[in-house]
Amino acid sequence: MRLTGRLFFAAISMCSLPCATATAQAVAFTWDDLPAHSALPPGQTRLEIAQSILKAMKDKNLPPAYGFVNGSFMEHEPGTESVLKAWRAAGLPLGNHTWSHMNLNNSPVEAWEQDLQKNEPLLREYATGADWHWLRYPNLAEGHDEKRTEARAFLKTQGYHIASVTMSFGDYAWNTPYARCVQTHDEAAIANLEASYLKAADETITYTRSASKAVFGHDIPYVLLMHVGALDAKLLPGLLALYQQRGFRFITLEEAESDPFYASDRNIVPEANPATFEAAAATKGIKLPPHPALPKMDDLCQ
Ligand SMILES: [Zn+2]
């Protein structure tokens, strides 16, 4: 929410300088692939990873962050429902990421809709008392043309909101090489991964803010895509400190998506453009610079 008029001055007068809450840009952290994302390093459990993430967010007083669930991951790794229980015990909400992480771009829309609904019984079970009708598209794949419109119309009839993503530094890409390097005890490689992870996050903040300013002339509240991976958990205290150093305050997904930019995803307008800066820029004929690229990590610790 942006403050205007009397409300803005009321907020200014209530806080001592510097008053970060009235002026800082805002970001909602959101977490995908619960309960089991990417490779698990030896000696760690899924629950320990989740608990590290929950602790880091609690230490920085983050408001409740959504965790988007794939039920099939619990079939592949029995016992990991403990992650969902820990998430809910910490007071954080869960959302739908489809049962099998089905990519809508590569699947018939009917099969995708069934996969989405297959995930709902466990959300009903674990997310009681919270609004779990938020969808994060697997691979952010929304489908194209008629398929896209059909899927969105379906989501609307089912009472969902779409959890947009407006900031992503590709955090997921570090977790598999990190697990390999833990396995091989390559401390130098791990240090390089940690440095490149935080560098990518920093460069992506710069890119995303400049994209927002190019399209709108100001910051909008951002929704950051994260994953419940082992390196994500290890580096989260540093990542949250980076966001604070860059002047961010932390908000909920609902707060971020109350901005008009997200209205077509929050309320689901079936024919609307995706809520991305790239789509908004294309609509306005604005050319954005390329998004920061991922470093090459495929050969690391092989
Ligand atoms: Zn995912």
Q: What is the pLDDT of residues 55-98, one digit of tens each?
A: 999 999 999 999 999 999 999 999 999 999 999 999 999 999 99
In a domain, 134, yes or no: yes
Q: Mind listing the pLDDT tens digit for each residue in 105-148?
A: 999 999 999 999 999 999 999 998 899 999 999 999 999 999 99
In a domain, 293, yes or no: no
Q: How far is the CA of 68 from the centre of ligand 1 (A)?
A: 8
In a domain, 3, yes or no: no
In a domain, 8, yes or no: no
Q: How far is the CA of 255 from the centre of ligand 1 (A)?
A: 22
In a domain, 10, yes or no: no
Q: How far is the CA of 228 from the centre of ligand 1 (A)?
A: 10
Distance between CA atoms of 297 and 174, rounded to whole angstroms?
8
Task: Look at residues 87, 98, 76, 22 and name the one whose alpha carbon lies nearest to residue 50.
Answer: 87
In a domain, 19, yes or no: no
Q: Mind listing the pLDDT tens digit for each residue in 230-250?
A: 999 999 999 999 999 999 999
- Cα dihedral across residues 89, 134, 247, 170: positive or negative: positive
Q: How far is the CA of 74 from the centre of ligand 1 (A)?
A: 14
Q: Mind listing the pLDDT tens digit for each residue in 187-210?
A: 999 999 999 999 999 999 999 999
Task: Look at residues 139, 238, 240 and name the one whose alpha carbon lies nearest to residue 196.
Answer: 238
Neighbouring CB atoms inside 10 A of 123's CB total 19
Domain that holds residue 100: 24-284
What band does 8 get if pLDDT is binned at 50, 70 and 90? very low
Q: How many domains does the chain contain in total?
A: 1
- Exposed (0-12), middle (13-18) or buried (19+): which is 181, by Cβ within 10 Å? buried
Q: Mind listing the pLDDT tens digit for each residue in 257-280?
A: 999 999 999 999 999 888 899 999
In a domain, 96, yes or no: yes
In a domain, 290, yes or no: no
Q: Which distant-in-sequence residues (6+ apart) come within 8 Å of 184 by Cβ?
A: 301
Ion ligand 1 contact residues with beta carbon within 5 A: 32-33
Q: How far is the CA of 13 from the centre of ligand 1 (A)?
A: 42
Give 3-state DSSP helix, strand, coil % of the chain, rounded to 5: 50, 10, 40
How large is the angle between the packed helices 175-183 and 230-245, nearest 10 degrees?
120
Does the structure show a pLDDT above 50 at 4? no
Q: How far is the CA of 56 from the centre of ligand 1 (A)?
A: 21
Q: How far is the CA of 97 from the centre of ligand 1 (A)?
A: 7
> What CATH number is given to the structural domain containing 128?
3.20.20.370
Does the structure show a pLDDT above 60 at 44? yes
Q: What amino acid occupies position 70?
A: N
Q: How far is the CA of 263 from the centre of ligand 1 (A)?
A: 23
Q: How far is the CA of 281 from the centre of ligand 1 (A)?
A: 25
